C-alpha cells in the first residue's frame, strides 16, 4: 500500500471511530474531516495522529482524544453566528474545529509556547477567525464577554465563577469537573433566564486547570 493510500485509510478509520463513539452531528463530523489532526501532533507521536487517543504535546500537556473533542463540540451545539471562548488551547486542534463552526473563536492557554505554536498553525491553515491569547483562563476574557459558548479543556473542581459570569443568557458551557487525578465528569451548563441548569454527559480524564502562567 502506498503512503497516500495508507493515510487515506487511516483518515477514514478515524472518522469511523468518531461515529462509532457517538459523534453523529453532521456539521461536527464535517469540521473534523476538514481539520487534519496531523499538523497539531508534532514529533514522536505524529504517526499516531489518526488514532482515537490523547497524545502528549509540548509543556507536558496533551491533545485530547478525538472522540472526546467530537462529543464536546457536539454538546456545545455551536451555530455559525456564535462567539466562542475556549480555555486550554493546547495544540490548537479543538479551536481549529470550532473555527469551522462558529463566527469567532477566542482561545486561551497559560503556556506561551503552546499559544505561539498554535498561532503558527492557524496562520498556515488560514484560520483567521481565531485569536489565541496567553493568560490564566480561569478569569475568562472580560474584554470580549459575553460569549455564546464556552468550552474548557482542562479540569477544575467546579465551573470557574468568572466563566459562568461571561456566558450569555441562552448560552452553553461544556467542561470537565472533578479532582485532577481521579475520575472527572464532563458537564454541560445552560444559562437560562432563571439560572443555571447542569447535565452530566460522561466520565472523562483531562489535565488540571492550573493557576497563573506556565514557565514557558
Ligand atoms: N484543547 C487542547 C487540549 C488542551 S490540554 C487541544 O485541542 O489540543 C489542556 C490545556 O489547558 C493545556 O495546554 C494547559 O496548559 C491549559 N491550561 C491549564 N490550566 C489553564 C488555565 N488556568 N488557563 C489557561 N490554560 C490552562
Residue 180: pLDDT band (50, 70, 90) is: low
Q: Does the structure show a pLDDT above 60 at 1?
A: no
Output the pTM of the full model. 0.96
- What was the pLDDT predicted at 2? 65
Task: Verify whether residue 79 is a known catalytic residue.
Answer: no
Mean predicted lDDT score pLDDT of the chain: 95
The separation between CA 110 and the C-alpha centre of its own chain, rounded to angstroms, equals 15
Cβ count within 10 A of residue 9? 12
Ligand 1 atom nearest residue 88's Cα: 11
Could you give the domains of the chain?
3-204 (3.40.50.150)
Q: How does strand 83-87 pair with strand 147-152?
A: parallel
Q: Ligand 1 pocket, 122 CB below 6 A?
A: no
Please report how many Cα atoms fall inside a 13 Å half-sphere around the Cα of residue 145, on the Cβ side. 15
| Ligand 1 lined by 210 (C-beta under 6 Å) | yes
* Cβ of 64 less than 6 Å from ligand 1: yes
pLDDT for the residue numbered 215: 86
What would the grid cell of residue 73 be?
463540540
Could you tell me if 110 and 216 are in contact, meaning their C-beta atoms sit under 8 angstroms apart?
no
**pLDDT value at 179 more than 80:** no
pLDDT, tens digit (0-9, with 9 covering 90-100), for 111-160: 999 999 999 999 999 999 999 999 999 999 999 999 999 999 999 999 99
Catalytic residue among 20, 46, 64, 79: 64
Q: Is the per-residue pLDDT at 75 higher than 90?
A: yes
Amino acid at each position: 500500500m502506498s503512503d497516500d493510500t495508507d493515510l487515506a485509510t487511516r483518515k477514514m478509520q478515524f472518522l469511523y471511530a468518531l461515529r462509532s463513539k457517538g459523534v453523529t452531528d453532521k456539521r461536527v463530523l464535517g469540521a473534523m474531516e476538514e481539520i487534519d489532526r496531523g499538523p497539531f501532533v508534532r514529533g514522536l507521536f505524529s504517526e499516531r495522529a489518526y488514532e482515537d487517543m490523547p497524545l502528549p504535546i509540548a509543556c507536558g500537556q496533551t491533545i485530547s482524544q478525538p472522540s472526546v473533542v467530537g462529543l464536546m463540540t457536539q454538546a456545545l451545539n455551536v451555530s455559525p453566528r456564535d462567539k466562542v471562548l475556549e480555555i486550554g488551547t493546547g495544540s490548537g486542534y479543538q479551536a481549529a474545529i470550532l473555527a469551522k463552526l462558529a463566527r469567532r473563536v477566542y482561545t486561551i492557554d497559560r503556556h506561551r509556547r503552546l499559544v505561539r505554536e498554535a498561532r503558527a498553525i492557524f496562520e498556515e491553515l488560514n484560520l483567521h477567525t481565531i485569536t489565541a491569547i496567553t493568560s490564566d483562563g480561569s478569569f475568562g476574557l472580560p474584554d470580549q464577554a459575553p460569549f455564546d459558548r464556552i468550552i474548557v479543556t482542562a479540569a477544575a473542581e467546579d465551573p470557574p465563577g468568572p466563566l459562568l459570569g461571561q456566558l450569555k443568557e441562552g448560552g452553553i458551557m461544556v467542561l470537565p469537573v472533578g479532582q485532577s487525578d481521579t475520575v472527572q465528569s464532563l458537564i454541560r451548563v445552560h444559562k437560562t433566564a432563571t439560572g443555571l441548569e447542569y447535565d452530566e454527559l460522561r466520565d472523562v480524564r483531562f489535565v488540571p486547570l492550573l493557576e497563573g502562567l506556565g514557565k514557558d
